[in-house]
Amino acid sequence: MIQTIAMIAILCISLATLALIYRVIKGPSIPDRVVALDAIGINLVAIVALISIALNTNAFLEVILLLGILAFIGTVAFSKYLEKGVIIEHDRDR
């Protein structure tokens, strides 16, 4: 029962991820692609959570927090590159 529900939800999130991949490929500007990749990361979190429900294990729960942190750091790095041209500045008040 709970496996069936989890599989249906995984299917729905996979369709949403496919739509986001369309935006990554087609997106006219770079920020569109960055936002789509960020949302794909969060969808991966949801897929990992649903798979750990379907497999009835709690071994993947660290992966969820890890993917959230990595998606945040990656998006911040890319948006800083788009805004300033450098990712790590030497001296901010120069």
Partner 1 sequence: MKTNDIILQTATKVVLFIIVLFSVYIFFAGHYTPGGGFVGGLLTSGAIILLLLAFDMKTVDKILPVNFMYMIATGLLFAIGTGAGGLLFNVPFLTHAFTDVDLPILGHLSLHTAALFDLGVFLVVVGVTMIIIKTIGEDD
Residues that bind partner 1 (CB under 8 A): 59, 62, 65-66, 69-70, 72-73, 76-77, 80, 83-84, 86-92
CA pair distance 77, 67, nearest whole angstrom? 15
Residue 42: which residues within 8 A CB-CB, separation 6 or more? 68, 71
The minimum distance between CB 81 and partner 1, in angstroms, equals 10
CA distance 47 to 10: 6
In sequence order, which residues have a C-beta less than 8 Å from that of residue 78 and are 6 or more positions away? 34
Which is closer to partner 1, CB of 11 or CB of 73? 73
Closest to partner 1 by CB, 25 or 86 = 86
In whole angstroms, how close is the CB of 24 to partner 1 at the nearest point?
Answer: 22
Supply the minimum distance, in Å, between the C-beta of residue 23 and partner 1.
24
